[in-house]
Amino acid sequence: MGTLYIVATPIGNLEDISARALRVLREASLIAAEDTRRTAKLLSHFGIATPTTSYFEHNKLTKLDSILDRLQAGDVALVSDGGLPGVSDPGYELIREAIARGVAVVPIPGPSAILSALVVSGLPTDSFAFLGFLPRKANDRAAVLAANASDSRTLICLEAPHRLLDSLADIRRELGDRRMAVCRELTKMHEEIFRGTAAEAIAHFNRGEVRGEITLVIEGRRDEPIAEAWNNARIRAALADLIALGIERKEAAKQIAAQSGWDRREVYKIAIDI
């Protein structure tokens, strides 16, 4: 019975791969890769000729058994597009099934966009929650953020560049104008680490097209009764109170926008739904 090695690979800079990872990739009988084309470039750079097979979200159910069968004859190395496999990728299912079948599973640690973003964010690192990729649909994304609004831990999530501005707006609406870090293209030539509030992040990234892989690190809820965060729920409650007093929605939105710092148009959108 072979060993399933969970091998961390560079998230951008090829110099970040470890000597141990290179040895395991060379000595394994097979490499299961999330993207064989991307892995081929890595292997070619380091002169590694180990056979590869694809294992990704859309073929994981059909490939799982064949990969586990290969473990009967030798070691298999599992790699993702970058970073440590098994976190927000299909590697989790393979790892789980290997453990269930009594296969030895060994981690080969290394680069991680999640932890790299956390430690450079300037936000608390003693307790944090990883939310994975934020949902593509706006309503689902808002629901995930709202469900974590009361969490005092630092929040970490992944997002695609073309949805960044929408997600930043949702973060401001659901969590309030919290401090955060937007980490783009970590370890790569065009690495960018933006630190500021959600509103400041919106203004910064609204200047042009956003590209690259993005990790968001968001401040957890702070117990500040005097300066309570103006999130979506608080905006809605404040508007409802004013509307109940007979104040027109447009005027109510104007007043709450002035108090909260929110854009008046965003507040009015909430007001017309009440």
Q: In terms of pLDDT, which residue wins out, 54 or 264? A: 54
pLDDT tens for 129-183 read 999 999 999 999 999 999 999 999 999 999 999 999 999 999 998 998 899 999 9
- Would the pLDDT of 236 be above 50? yes
Distance, in Å, from the CA atom of 7 to the CA atom of 164, rounded to the nearest integer, reads 29
- Would the pLDDT of 225 be above 80? no
What is residue 177's predicted lDDT score, i.e. its pLDDT?
Answer: 87
25 near 76, Cβ under 8 Å? no
DSSP 8-state secondary structure symbol assigned to residue 75:
-
pTM, 2 dp: 0.81
What is the 3-class SS of 118-173, one letter each residue?
HHHHCCCCCCEEEEEECCCCHHHHHHHHHHCCCCCCEEEEEECHHHHHHHHHHHHH
What is residue 208's predicted lDDT score, i.e. its pLDDT?
Answer: 86
What is residue 222's predicted lDDT score, i.e. its pLDDT?
Answer: 81
183 near 113, Cβ under 8 Å? yes
Show Cβ contacts of residue 8 under 8 Å, excluding neighbours closer than 6 positions: 18, 21, 83, 84, 85, 107, 108, 109, 110, 111, 112
What is residue 139's predicted lDDT score, i.e. its pLDDT?
Answer: 95
When pLDDT is cut at 50, 70 and 90, the band that residue 255 belongs to is confident
pLDDT tens for 61-102 read 899 999 999 999 999 999 999 999 999 889 999 999 999 999
- Would the pLDDT of 224 be above 80? no
When pLDDT is cut at 50, 70 and 90, the band that residue 56 belongs to is very high
What is residue 227's predicted lDDT score, i.e. its pLDDT?
Answer: 44
Cα–Cα nearest to 174, from 155, 193, 192: 155
Distance, in Å, from the CA atom of 103 to the CA atom of 8, rounded to the nearest integer, reads 19
| Residue appearing with tokens 């300066």 | 227
Distance, in Å, from the CA atom of 83 to the CA atom of 115, rounded to the nearest integer, reads 10
SS3 30: strand
Question: Which contiguous run of DSSP H or E holds residue 269?
Answer: helix 264-271
Cα–Cα nearest to 4, from 88, 72, 50: 72
Distance, in Å, from the CA atom of 175 to the CA atom of 219, rounded to the nearest integer, reads 9
Share of the chain above pLDDT 90, in %: 82
Ranges 13-17, 49-53, 258-262: which has the least confidence:
258-262
Distance, in Å, from the CA atom of 236 to the CA atom of 196, rounded to the nearest integer, reads 25
pLDDT tens for 190-221 read 999 999 999 899 999 998 899 999 999 999 99
253 near 271, Cβ under 8 Å? yes
Phi and psi (nearest 5°) for 109? -65, 165
